[in-house]
Every structure is written in C-alpha cells, then in structure tokens.
C-alpha cells in the first residue's frame, strides 16, 4: 500500500494524534517515510512523543519539527541522534528561550552520531 510515499508533511497536532500514530494499517507506510515536516506556528511536538516517533518512522533522513523551548530542543536532539541512524538533516524550531546549561556543541553532535 502506497509504495511511493516517502515524504510526510503534517501538523504536529495530527502527528501526535493516537488515531494517526497508533493506526496499525499505516505502520508499513510509516516505515518507508524518509522526510517528515511537522511544523506549525501554534503547535509543538513534545519530547515525550519522540520515542514513539522514532519507533514508527525508523527510516527518517530529514526532519523538521517545532518544539516549545530550547530545553525541549536538547532532549529532541538526543533522542533523534541516538535512534535514527540515517538522519542527515534536522531542523528544529523553538518558541521560548530558557536557561541553557547543556554542553551542546558541534563536537557533542558528532560524538552522538558515532
């Protein structure tokens, strides 16, 4: 079913909806998706959802997401880099600034990819 679907553009609200993400009839399609764009100005993807995302979409190479804060951004980076071995493009937008006390650097990202 749908062998030519590799790109998914969806609102964060629909992405995290259990009617969508837990729909067993879509699991085989999710596994072939390589590009995911889940960006909307007024909706964010929660870090708690990311483990389900990487489980359902293991072939992702390009991702664009919208998260609430920079702290969420750090958590999202850790989860995505740890679980998606083919990831080559990642763009994360965040709304709120927050205190930054994490050793986030280019070296940190490279080390996470190894």
Give the pTM: 0.78
Classify residue 81: in a domain, yes or no.
yes
Nearest CA to 82 among 114, 104, 44?
A: 114
What is the number of structural domains in the chain? 1
In tens digits, the chain (114 residues) has pLDDT values of 677 889 999 988 899 999 999 999 999 999 999 999 988 767 788 888 899 999 999 999 999 988 887 777 778 888 898 899 999 998 888 776 555 555 556 676 666 655
- pLDDT for residue 47: 83
- 101: domain range? 7-113
* Per-residue pLDDT at 56: 97
Which among 56, 49, 1 has a CA at the least distance from the CA of 27? Answer: 56
Rounded to whole angstroms, how far apart are CA atoms 55 and 71? 22
Residue 1 is assigned to a structural domain of this protein: no
Inside any domain, residue 22:
yes
Q: Give a yes or no: residue 64 inside a domain.
A: yes
pLDDT of residue 86: 93
CA 86 to chain centre: 13
């Amino acid at each position: 079913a749908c062998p030519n679907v590799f790109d998914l553009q969806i609102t964060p609200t629909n992405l995290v909806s259990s009617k969508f993400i837990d729909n067993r009839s879509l699991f085989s399609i999710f596994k072939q998706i390589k590009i995911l764009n889940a960006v909307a100005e007024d909706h964010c993807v929660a870090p708690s959802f990311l483990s389900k995302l990487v489980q359902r979409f293991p072939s992702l190479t390009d991702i664009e997401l919208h998260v609430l804060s920079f702290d969420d951004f750090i958590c999202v980076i850790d989860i995505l880099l740890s679980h998606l071995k083919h990831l080559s493009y990642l763009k994360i937008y965040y709304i709120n600034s927050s205190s930054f006390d994490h050793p986030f650097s280019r070296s940190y990202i490279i080390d996470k990819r190894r």
